[in-house]
Amino acid sequence: MRSEGLRLALDAPRLTQGLVLALVGLTSTAAGAQDGAVQETDEAAAPRERPDRGPRIDEGRDLLTEEVTALELEAHVGYLSQDLLAGRETGSAGEALAVAYIAERLEAAGWQPGGDDGTFLQRVPLSVTTVEVDPSVAEVGTDAVVEWRVDYTMVTWAPLAGEFDVVVAEDLDSIPFTDQALFVPASTSERASVLAELAARGDDAPALVILPGPSSPGRPGGRLPSPRMEVETGGAIFPVLRARGEFLGRIEAGTVGKLAIALEAERVELSSHNVVAILPGAGSEAHPELAGEVIVLSAHLDHIGTTQSDDPEADLVYNGADDDASGVAAVIEVAEALALGPRPARTFVALLATGEERGLLGTREYLRRPARPLAETIYNLNFEMLGRPDALVGGPGHMWFTGYELTNVGPLCAELGVELTPDPRPEQRFFQRSDNYAFVMEGIVAQTLSSFDLHDDYHQVTDEWWTVDYDHMEQAVTVSAKAAALLGSGAVTPAWNEGMQPAQR
């Protein structure tokens, strides 16, 4: 028997049929789509009346406490983690249903569209690269042996075959790179920007880029990589390898004149979407400028899809109830609570991101095309796996806060009556393992709230909606809403503690 909360989710109205079908059609046939734009029916495109949610201000009521309920949390988690959504794999039809559901909930809450073309959806163009044959690299005109994994590793795979002159990039503006193997002796912090600049050259980009690796050789053997998903930025696509050991030394010495390359890789394009919504701030009488400061509330809507089995009775769906339907449900409930009360002083952006399980892909695309300028974004509060209590931080109703010692947010909230407990397992590096870290790498203060207790259902088919403790979630998300309200009011201004800001890549 399913619970009342799940019944509400399954029976609740969804986005208009046209938008849902467009999303499903887009993701299931994305490889053949040219631009991935969502095509809505006239019904879907027409303005809709928003439900009457009553007065926004009711003196004497604690809206943050009343709005967050176990019943609604169960409804959200139950819908997002049902088998129909097939594990919400990035770019899948099941994930598109999750996108539609979340967008509907935020629109119903009264938030404004923050995505593309006046919608709640931000397209995330993706590609999947599959490699089934070992790469081949040889120095032309010498007897030197160049072995994969011993002398080089592949950073980015792309099909390439031929012989290419090796040139050293001392000045990107003065060297013609077309049909060249370009060695980039840049520092680690500069490589990303150099690769982006080269990709932007389009047809004038190099055929191959070589980066310096360790001075010692690697070990032979190993398997080919699993299919790799990446965000498409619209630039040139070229393979990138990292040279090491004696091979690197010869390149740096200028004794490698030409390389013979044979790389085989299959690349398929597809699309996914972030859900992005905005709750504009109103400033305050004393500080109207607070309206121009942005707090991003985030969680990831994707999970890891399905598996295969010869057993006809086997459960094949990684439902991802705790990871991270619980975090998405938390953002929805916090968003509803914030919208019901007086306008916050600061502006909020809700970001429900795709592709976290594939490497924070959706969040990285958002940071490339933010709903509000990154210069105005002062904080990211991320929600990850809030579905079960953690005994190490007090059990039901309690959460832990990644990077507690790095910022002033936890102590300042505690001074104002909202307790956020430090992460009890810093050795697990949870601060670096969720979407908040993409913001950190842009220099933005960002942390994650969670109550993950290392349960055995993590990334298993047993992470089902009925394993979630919704009473615990109600208490924890209520605390989260109060923390968000403090951040939105201007009472807490996030900052890195002195000397504690992580280095940017």
pLDDT in tens, 333-361: 999 999 998 999 999 999 999 999 999 99
Instruction: Say if CB 30 and CB 271 are below 8 A apart.
Output: yes
Q: Which residues pair with 402 in a beta bridge?
A: none
* pLDDT at residue 350, rounded to an integer: 99
Q: Which residues pair with 113 in a beta bridge?
A: 277
Mean pLDDT over 75-99 rounds to 97
Distance of CA 123 to the CA centre of its chain: 13
% of residues, the chain, pLDDT over 90: 76
Which tokens hold the place of 64? 């943050």
Q: What is the 3-state secondary structure (H, E, C) of 64-124?
A: HHHHCCHHHHHHHHHHHCCHHHHHHECCCHHHHHHHHHHHHHHHHCCCEECCHHHCCEEEE
| 240-243, strands of its sheet edge to edge | 136-139, 258-263, 160-168, 180-183, 208-212, 240-243, 152-156
pLDDT at residue 131 greater than cutoff 80:
yes
* pLDDT at residue 52, rounded to an integer: 40
Taking the C-alpha atoms of residue 113 and residue 18, their distance in angstroms, rounded to an integer, is 18
Tell me which amino acid residue 171 is: D
What's the Rg (C-alpha) of the chain? 25
**At CA 279, angle to CA 70 and CA 80, rounded to 5?**
40
Q: What is the 3-state secondary structure (H, E, C) of 116-179?
A: HHHCCEEEEEEEEEECCCCCEEEECCCCCCCCECCCEEEEECCCEEEEEEEEECCCCCCCCCEC
- CB crowding 226-236: b at 16 or more within 10 Å, else e: eebbbbbeeeb
pLDDT in tens, 3-56: 444 444 444 433 333 444 444 444 443 333 333 333 333 333 333 343 343 333
User: Does residue 21 sit in helix, strand or coil?
Assistant: helix
436 to each of 382, 383, 455, how far by Cα in Å? 6, 9, 22
Domains and CATH numbers, the chain: 4-31+64-126+270-489 (3.40.630.10), 132-264 (3.50.30)
* pLDDT at residue 204, rounded to an integer: 84
Instruction: Say if CB 249 and CB 82 are below 8 A apart.
Output: no
Taking the C-alpha atoms of residue 295 and residue 127, their distance in angstroms, rounded to an integer, is 30
**Residue 171: pLDDT band with limits 50, 70, 90:** low
Over the chain, what is the mean pLDDT?
Answer: 87
Among the ranges given (46-50, 250-254, 331-335, 399-403), the one the predictor scored with the smallest mean pLDDT = 46-50
Q: What is the dihedral of CA 320, 326, 327, 333, to 10 degrees?
A: 150
* pLDDT at residue 18, rounded to an integer: 42
Instruction: Say if CB 425 and CB 454 are below 8 A apart.
Output: yes
Mean pLDDT over 95-103 rounds to 98
User: Does residue 505 sit in helix, strand or coil?
Assistant: coil
Q: Which residue has the tokens 């690269």?
A: 129
Among the ranges given (9-23, 113-127, 294-308, 366-380), the one the predictor scored with the smallest mean pLDDT = 9-23
User: Does residue 206 sit in helix, strand or coil?
Assistant: strand
The burial class, CB within 10 Å (0-12 / 13-18 / 19+), for 28 is middle
Which of 13, 98, 101 lies closest to 49, judged by CA? 13
